[in-house]
Structure 1
Amino acid sequence: MAEVVAGGFEHVRLVRHGEAGHVVEVVLDRPDALNALSQAFAAELRDAFVAIAANPVVRAVVLSSSQDRAFCVGADLKERNGFTDAQLRGQRVVYRAMARAFLDVPVPVVAAVAGYALGGGLELALLCDLLVADTTAVLGLPEVSVGVVPGLGGTQLLSRRIGLGRASDLILTARRLTAAEADGMGLLSRLAEAGQARTVALDVATTIAGHSPVGVRNAKRAVRLGFDTDLASGLEIEDGAWRATAFSADRAEGVAAFNEKRRPVWPGTP
């Protein structure tokens, strides 16, 4: 069951999936511009993800597009064409707040990419925890070819996914990747058949939402915080996540359900 959630947005649709609404789909819906990110569009995405982060019912998020041709082609360069320096600085504040809102969501976010995911479009996907793409996807960071650099985390997030050398190659040459090439580099979490990115992403999100909410949130936090630190510090972060989960009501329910051979009914509280 899917239910459209009224959010007061022009270019973003929120759709709840399942009877409990534990999975929320954020649909990029500016088809006339191939989901190019205008300042207003970015502000809507910021507000949508801030609201999702504050909603304790949500256990997983899918970021998708309303069209198959493009996930998102990046920043709206037509809008920027007449910008003054002051306007560009103002837009930068909105863009950074949007990126921060993605990263601050405490539950897993799954990108469902079909068609073009270029520049800021690929960066939106990189801001997600998992990246599902189908065989129609074309991915790249072409910013240096138009006189800018990736500015939604691309220079940092891409290297963390595929390594410094490969990320430097893609960013500095501005070349595009097919989905198969991206998968071979380890950029994708899963490669889907044509037309199946959204279906696979929703399946992944539904699976995640069926697990312990406390465990999933703490596991995401440990993975994110531990990635950029040394092993000893990372293990301390993991221990904190383990303790926060092991003494929760979710752990008690999980053990009881296993022994009683039934599906757990998660309390979802520490």
Structure 2
Amino acid sequence: MTDEVRYGEFVAVVHHGHVAELRLDRPKAMNAVSTDMARSLAAATDALAADPDVRAVVLTSTSERAFCVGADLKERNSFTDDDLRRQRPQTRAAYTGVLELPMPAIAAVHGFALGGGFEIALSCDLIVADATAVVGLPEVTVGVIPGGGGTQLLPRRVGAARAAELIFTGRRVEAAEARDLGLVDELVPAGEDRTAALDLAQRIAANSPVGVRSAKRAMRLGHGKDLPAGLDLEDAAWRTTAFSGDRAEGVAAFNEKRKPDWPGV
């Protein structure tokens, strides 16, 4: 573990070599996403996206009880309609910032990941949850809809019918069922979510950053396309890697029976 960089009061980034740990750090409010926190999350993801040394990002929580409980409804209770309209670009930027990270992102989830909190996790490529995790999108129970990407990301993860049931009922799903439904990708014992997610990120970071970023881009852009269009996107991503310094180093390292020293270009 090296330096900690803070983005406002509620978000911090700690670097572990080529892995960046993005910490949601508002434990007294179980990381409820206030306007300030949304602004800080957007700033942190912007900085990570622009950092060529970061090969994977792990989103963690400093709260013992929750990954993130979603929107700060106490703050919103005093909002006028105009206040809510002004806040909207801030919250959209926060969720979009996670979703558009060019390197793989992994959510380390324990306790509650509800509403916008679960949408932050859904915006990641992979979700590692521990046995205490409880996830869900309960927005319809307070008169709105999942507005941080949930109506689009959840169907892509679990299918349209299952997503409809979960969103229309707003029910909470505990860890074992969440794994069985595909809401999370890996289930680990209580208290081990952060360690497991960081270990996974380090395994990813050992690979070619050009290759991994290009694979993520091809998968993201190809989702929903017809097969020929998707294969064209794949071909473009392949060409990015095939003529890169990483490809040359990877082939050389293989033939020299050594670990590659990726140039990242």
Q: Report the TM range for the smaller structure's normalisation.
A: over 0.9
Given that residues 7 and 40 in structure 2 are in contact (C-alpha distance below 8 angstroms), is that contact kept between their aligned partners in structure 1?
Answer: no
Deviations 1:230-270 (A, max 9, x none): 1111011011111110111111111111111110000110x
What runs of 5+ residues in structure 1 fail to find an aligned partner? Answer: none
1:127 paired to 2:123:
yes
Q: Secondary structure at the match of 1:6?
A: strand
Q: Segments of 4+ in structure 1 off by > 3 A?
A: none
CA drift of 1:104 comes to 2.1
Structure 1 length normalisation: TM-score?
0.96
The number of residue pairs the alignment matches comes to 265
For residues 87-106 of structure 1, the aligned pairs below 5 Å read: 87-106=83-102
Deviations 1:84-116 (A, max 9, x none): 100000111111111221122110010000000
The residue that corresponds to 2:9 in the other structure is: 10
CA drift of 1:8 comes to 4.5
State the AA in 1 paired with 2:200.
Answer: V
State the AA in 1 paired with 2:11.
Answer: V
CA drift of 1:7 comes to 2.8
- One of 145, 166, 170 as aligned partner of 1:170: 166
For residues 232-251 of structure 1, the aligned pairs below 5 Å read: 232-251=228-247
Aligned mates of 1:258, 1:235 — CA distance in 2: 27
CA drift of 1:170 comes to 0.4
Q: Secondary structure at the match of 2:2?
A: strand
- One of 146, 149, 157 as aligned partner of 1:153: 149
Deviations 1:105-160 (A, max 9, x none): 11001000000000000000001111111111000000000111100000110000
Deviations 1:184-218 (A, max 9, x none): 11121211111111011001111111100100010
Aligned mates of 1:264, 1:131 — CA distance in 2: 28
Q: Secondary structure at the match of 2:230?
A: helix
Given that residues 64 and 71 in structure 1 are in contact (C-alpha distance below 8 angstroms), is that contact kept between their aligned partners in structure 2?
Answer: yes
- One of 140, 144, 161 as aligned partner of 2:140: 144
Question: Matched residues, percent identical?
Answer: 61
What runs of 5+ residues in structure 2 fail to find an aligned partner? Answer: none
For residues 171-210 of structure 1, the aligned pairs below 5 Å read: 171-210=167-206
Aligned mates of 2:249, 2:27 — CA distance in 1: 45
The residue that corresponds to 2:69 in the other structure is: 73
The residue that corresponds to 1:61 in the other structure is: 57
Given that residues 68 and 195 in structure 1 are in contact (C-alpha distance below 8 angstroms), is that contact kept between their aligned partners in structure 2?
Answer: no
Given that residues 140 and 167 in structure 2 are in contact (C-alpha distance below 8 angstroms), is that contact kept between their aligned partners in structure 1?
Answer: yes
